[in-house]
Structure 1
């Protein structure tokens, strides 16, 4: 019988030496749930993974307790939570998005004479992760680190409009029977129109005299990775791009950053 190459033998021996069965079970569950668009019952998970019901039960309970897996309202189905997504925001690929975005945002600010900021979602709110301001003496900017409400801001509403179905389901469960759930229900028609248009323009709900222009940065599945927002202000002393032209510049930037 032919011998395995030495590299393969060493790799196999290292794998056997450093095995962590409990970790493997947890990762198997996460990978299985990540591959499915619908939630699975415990029995379905046991069958798919070919493991004992008791060990899957214990691992699922720990994953639910740590927030990596979401249990359905009925209690008999399991799906991935958004925790891995939140962790991924601190991962280099997310930092690469901001590093790619900042030079483009600076160019946009110079061309439009307006400021802009980049917003990313984190669970039930969002946060400004980058911004750029024009060189004009009179500008309006939003500071990096500013928390952004999902329901009452252009950035937040566009993030909601382009959220994936699982994120929406989890959000509605967390907001069930709350005032936020009622507000969200009242926004459904607007969010649908934003999704069809792929942008949002409206008066700022925080500052008088400002029109918020927001466009999404999309994943390959057309879910929002982030949102670019320009708080557009009109000046009386200079000629600069109007709202429509500013929207075109913002869309061009978002397209170059989308996957």
Structure 2
């Protein structure tokens, strides 16, 4: 296998991808010399590559001699068919859910080791919790992550954990307590847990199911209690609306079609 990988190496492409992956995790950019140092190469090796990436719009010069990632890769990701099609299919349902619950909601998929927010619906009132589209969130400490893991086959779940570990996240296995929680989530059809990131917020999450019964996405309401309860339904009502919405989304994406046609 290693010989096959070496046989088809493309050093120039690898060099360009190394630069993009490095800059993706850096705020404020890096100089050519700093890029070379971090990648363990000579600065002269990156001059032409940086020039081409800048001319193609993937990086831009900032603060004189520093290079930073542009939003071009983000735009390309938004054009990627599966997430874009899924988001376009369920956006009206997300909008309706926000109106019914008076809360924001997000659509999250698992991609390359992380749950990723692919669509966001703002709360219709003045107050709500929002998160940027494209954000990577935790696999083990978020409602979305729990739902994506709970509604995955054991084999798929282990692959997701391994993929998460490969991204550089702290190495960990699923503890027995969390495995037991997955059973509860599957039985009830949703997760409700205090946010590990924002005090006072309860994450309500439920799966959008693929035809094989596994979660292809999760919808999460970061439930924020409001003083005026007449303006915002309670948690129980929000959960009921969430489950109705994700059931409708699963139907839109094909889950349950065979049963309905039988």
Q: Assess same fold via TM > 0.5.
A: yes
Deviation at 1:90, TM superposition (A): 6.8
Equivalent positions of 1:169-184 (< 5 A) are: 169-171=158-160, 173=162, 175=165, 180-184=171-175
C-alpha distance 233-58 of structure 1, shift in aligned 2 (>3 A): closer
Q: SS at 2:116's partner residue?
A: strand
1:125 aligns with 2:124: no
CA distance in 2 between partners of 1:195 and 1:212 (Å): 16
C-alpha distance 248-134 of structure 1, shift in aligned 2 (>3 A): same
Q: Which residue of 1 is the match for residue 209 of structure 2?
A: 218
1:196 aligns with 2:200: no
C-alpha distance 133-216 of structure 1, shift in aligned 2 (>3 A): same
Deviation at 1:211, TM superposition (A): 0.8
Q: SS at 1:151's partner residue?
A: coil
1:245 aligns with 2:240: no
Q: Which residue of 2 is the match for residue 205 of structure 1?
A: 196
Equivalent positions of 1:16-35 (< 5 A) are: none
Deviation at 1:238, TM superposition (A): 4.4
C-alpha distance 186-254 of structure 1, shift in aligned 2 (>3 A): same
Q: Deviations over 1:196-247 (max 9, x none)?
A: 2110011111111111100000012110000000011111134121111111
C-alpha distance 173-241 of structure 1, shift in aligned 2 (>3 A): closer
Q: Which residue of 1 is the match for residue 28 of structure 2?
A: none
Q: Deviations over 1:95-154 (max 9, x none)?
A: 221001111111111121100000000132111000111221122112211111110101
Deviation at 1:181, TM superposition (A): 2.4
Q: Which one has a bigger Cα radius of gyration?
A: 1
CA contact (8 A) 2:161 2:173 kept: no
C-alpha distance 136-159 of structure 1, shift in aligned 2 (>3 A): same
What TM-score does the superposition give when structure 1 sets the normalisation length?
0.61
Which of the numbers 132, 149, 156 marks the counterpart of 2:138?
A: 149
Q: SS at 1:148's partner residue?
A: coil
The runs of at least 4 consecutive aligned structure 1 residues that moved more than 6 Å come to: none
CA contact (8 A) 2:208 2:249 kept: yes
CA distance in 2 between partners of 1:128 and 1:173 (Å): 20
CA distance in 2 between partners of 1:217 and 1:246 (Å): 16
CA distance in 2 between partners of 1:173 and 1:235 (Å): 39
Q: Deviations over 1:135-178 (max 9, x none)?
A: 211221122111111101010111011123332232455559x9
Q: SS at 1:231's partner residue?
A: strand
Deviation at 1:93, TM superposition (A): 4.3
CA distance in 2 between partners of 1:148 and 1:134 (Å): 20
CA distance in 2 between partners of 1:154 and 1:123 (Å): 18
1:234 aligns with 2:255: no
Q: SS at 2:172's partner residue?
A: helix
